Amino acid sequence: MWKCKPYGLLWGLPLLALLWLLVFFGERRNIEADLVKRVSTRLEDAGLNWAKVEFSGLDGVISGMAGGIKEQDDAVALAQKTWGVWHITEKMDVVRTASPYRWSADIEGKKLVLEGYVPSRKARKAVNTMAKTQFPGFEIIDKMELASGVPDRRTFMETVGFGLKQLSGFTYGRVSLSDRNFSIEGLTKDATSFKTLKEALREDLPLDARLVSNRTKAPEVVIPLASPFSWKANKQNKVLRLSGHVHSDAQKRDIIFNAKRAMPDHRVIDNMEIARGTPTKRQWNGATSFALRQLAKLQRGTVKLEDLDYIITGHAANRSDFGDVEKGLSKLPNGFRVAKKRLTAPEEIKPEIKPIVPYVWRADFHAKRLTLSGNIPDQKARRNIKRQAKRHFPRADILDKMEVGPGAPGNWSEATNSSLSQLARLDNGNATIWNTEIELRGKVTSVERREDIIERMKSGIPSIYQFFDEIRIKKPEFKQPEVFIEQPEITQYPEEQFVSDARLERTDCQSYLDSILAGESIQFSPASAKFRDDSFPVLTRLAHTANRCPQTRIEIVGHTDSDGSRKFNEFLSLRRARSVVKYLTSKGVSKDRLSSVGYGEARPILPNTSDANKAKNRRIEFKVKEF
């Protein structure tokens, strides 16, 4: 019988190894070329085409300038995962950190020279694309270097794009950026470009950029002849617009100075143009100054000069101001006359709109949708809020339900900006501004993040505002096994039972609290969250009972009757619930165990058809829950 002798097979292993070495070294160049090709292709597909790879056998070396540590690690990991690669050695350089972070663009004839730093190759490509768009026909010379250390990538790219757009209106010039500081200098192509530049620097400069230097000028032009030589001042909504003709820059400065002195609380917009043809240079300054003094006495109106004729229309705030304007127009500068006058008596002035009370604004973020609602002071505030929303929630759908109305507290825009910036750091939640009270409600994943958000809110909002946090730590979800617990009947416990300090279970705690509230209710001043004096005994008993239930979480629920608007009642019930939480906390109940919610008039226990029913609907409830 034949027997297998496995040890005899060992004599063939050296022969197999020799055969493998002959094949490997015979095909080595082809293997190395194949590995270089396949690894290079994978690097290019991943946008890492700066990386160069060489192979010696199955071992490779990657070199090149990485945009950062992450790019360096990505290149090594991608090459190492390629089939057939045995080992990768890293010989790459990483871009340096630049401080300050500088960038500039210069027009040199028909060349545009780009210098300074860019944060990535993608950013460099984007800058070159913007340059080619704004400067068609120009030779773009790219001297930019990769460097880390940019203060904010979005602000950097927005400011670079803004600078290139403005520079396209120049015959020669330069824009530069140092961290967030923006500078511009040079000669514009014409007066229109110069005017457009001034408006852009005032209105369109990116939010976080700062203009530190503006040394620009317009080309000299032939001053046109104006006939008639006219000038106009229009006053409306705290804005004074100046337009028409002046004979020099000096006269323009004098008129603006007189306008600010006559109406210091108004914003002055200058649209005046230099022209020839003034009927009398000496008296023109006096005539415009006289016109501004009369216009300052009106609530709104317009004063126009056409050569030596005054045309004045407007509305006076009261009968006294109306008489002062009439009296002033009887003493005109020498040589001038009133060609047309149309002034209305105070009776025709519409009454001022009363401020909205309470003044409420809200932002809700849920399921990648940001809903903005409530009151805003004007359209400028709307634009600012939406700009901040897009900045902090770049991937969210933004729904605008805000309404313009008077009554916003001071520094209101700063309060909304801080609220939006910290709301963006919650998983989901909402921010509410009720007059000068700010509430931030939602969940975060860690105590450190919650404390940081609270600290930033308190330091970021104006001092007149009070901050309330309803931020909770998100806990891992688990399924509670179904257990039937027989609920005890709610009974009136004798007074002496509330003197005990013995701990209570959740069901007993709920029964004790319900028993207290069944006998007495918490009373507030009308339309207020301030306690009435007769409420403190019951509040004290509630606090004592809450301290006997340390292993429970208690939700304070506020309700109102149907008097007043739905929105007002909802926030009034929430403020009352907060007042109860604040009182319980002062009596030693841990704030981490307490939460507040307000349902307004949405959950009545009786129809709101009588005063007695309404009194029962105005209530505070305690809901005891497990931790």
pLDDT tens digits, residue range 420-433? 999 998 888 899 99
Instruction: State yes or no: pLDDT of 27 exceeds 80.
Output: no
Residue 254, domain member (yes or no): yes
Q: What is the mean pLDDT of residues 75-104?
A: 84
The per-residue pLDDT of the chain, averaged, comes to 85
pLDDT at 495: 41
**CATH code, domain carrying 387:** 3.40.1520.20
**Tokens 């034949």 sit on residue:** 2
How many domains are contained in the chain?
A: 5
Q: What is the mean pLDDT of residues 220-247?
A: 86
**Confidence tier at 380 by pLDDT (50, 70, 90):** very high
Residue 489, domain member (yes or no): no
Please indicate, yes or no, whether residues 510 and 618 belong to a single structural domain of this protein: yes
Give the integer Cα–Cα distance in Å for 604 and 559: 8
Which of 193-197, 602-606, 616-620 bottoms out in mean pLDDT, i.e. has the lowest? 193-197
CB atoms under 10 Å from CB of 191, counted, come to 14
Report the residue count for the chain: 627
Residue 259, domain member (yes or no): yes
Which of 22-36, 173-187, 336-350 bottoms out in mean pLDDT, i.e. has the lowest? 22-36
Give me 185's structure tokens: 């200098």
Instruction: State yes or no: pLDDT of 416 exceeds 90.
Output: yes
Please indicate, yes or no, whether residues 286 and 367 belong to a single structural domain of this protein: no
Q: Is 122 helix (H, G, I), strand (E, B) or coil?
A: helix
Question: First and final CA of the chain: distance in angstroms?
Answer: 78
Q: What is the tens place of the pLDDT at every residue in 480-498?
A: 444 433 433 433 444 434 4
Residue 125: φ, ψ to 5°: -60, -40
Domain holding 60, by residue range, is 27-94
pLDDT at 222: 65
SS3 for 275-294 is CECCCCHHHHHHHHHHHHHH
Return the percentage of the chain with pLDDT > 70, whole number: 89
**Confidence tier at 19 by pLDDT (50, 70, 90):** low
Please indicate, yes or no, whether residues 460 and 384 belong to a single structural domain of this protein: yes
Residue 2, domain member (yes or no): no
Give me 606's structure tokens: 């009786």
Collect all residues with Cβ–Cβ distance below 8 Å to 150 and sequence separation of at least 6: 101, 117, 119, 156
* Residue 441 near residue 471, CB atoms below 8 Å: yes
Q: Buried (b) or exposed (e) across 128-142, using 16+ Cβ within 10 A?
A: bebbeebbeebeeee
pLDDT at 223: 72
Residue 5, domain member (yes or no): no
Residue 122, domain member (yes or no): yes
Instruction: State yes or no: pLDDT of 438 exceeds 70.
Output: yes
Q: What is the tens place of the pLDDT at every residue in 36-62?
A: 888 888 888 887 777 888 888 788 888
Residues 108-112: contacts with CB under 8 Å, at least 24 apart = 108/172, 110/137, 110/138, 110/139, 111/138, 111/139, 111/140, 111/141, 112/138, 112/139, 112/140, 112/141
Going from the C-alpha of 146 to that of each of 43, 112, 218, the distances in angstroms are 19, 19, 35
Give me 317's structure tokens: 């705030």
Residue 509, domain member (yes or no): yes
pLDDT at 491: 39
- Which residue, among 242, 215, 220, 217, has the nearest Cα to 231 in the 3D structure? 242
Which of 19-23, 79-83, 457-461 bottoms out in mean pLDDT, i.e. has the lowest? 19-23
Q: Is 484 helix (H, G, I), strand (E, B) or coil?
A: coil
Instruction: State yes or no: pLDDT of 3 exceeds 70.
Output: no
**Confidence tier at 559 by pLDDT (50, 70, 90):** very high
Of 175, 194, 217, which marks where a domain is finished? Answer: 217
Q: What is the mean pLDDT of residues 171-182?
A: 93
Give the integer Cα–Cα distance in Å for 485 and 506: 11
Please indicate, yes or no, whether residues 542 and 618 belong to a single structural domain of this protein: yes
Give me 69's structure tokens: 């540590």
pLDDT at 4: 55
Please indicate, yes or no, whether residues 178 and 240 belong to a single structural domain of this protein: no
pLDDT at 494: 40
CB atoms under 10 Å from CB of 144, counted, come to 19
pLDDT at 179: 92
Q: What is the mean pLDDT of residues 281-297?
A: 86
pLDDT at 493: 40
**Confidence tier at 578 by pLDDT (50, 70, 90):** very high
Which of 407-416, 431-440, 470-479, 536-545 bottoms out in mean pLDDT, i.e. has the lowest? 470-479
Q: Who has greater pLDDT, 283 or 214?
A: 214
Q: What is the tens place of the pLDDT at every residue in 108-154?
A: 889 999 999 998 888 889 999 999 999 999 999 999 988 888 889 89
- Which residue, among 432, 443, 442, has the nearest Cα to 466 in the 3D structure? 432
Which of 51-65, 203-217, 457-471 bottoms out in mean pLDDT, i.e. has the lowest? 51-65
Residue 78, domain member (yes or no): yes
Going from the C-alpha of 225 to that of each of 70, 242, 474, the distances in angstroms are 65, 19, 73
Please indicate, yes or no, whether residues 159 and 59 belong to a single structural domain of this protein: no
pLDDT at 17: 62
pLDDT at 131: 94
pLDDT at 476: 56
Please indicate, yes or no, whether residues 178 and 84 belong to a single structural domain of this protein: no
Amino acid at 247: H
Of 74, 94, 114, which marks where a domain is finished? Answer: 94
Of 320, 348, 376, which marks where a domain is finished? Answer: 348
Q: What is the mean pLDDT of residues 543-558?
A: 92
Instruction: State yes or no: pLDDT of 577 exceeds 80.
Output: yes
Return the percentage of the chain with pLDDT > 90, whole number: 40
Please indicate, yes or no, whether residues 294 and 326 belong to a single structural domain of this protein: yes
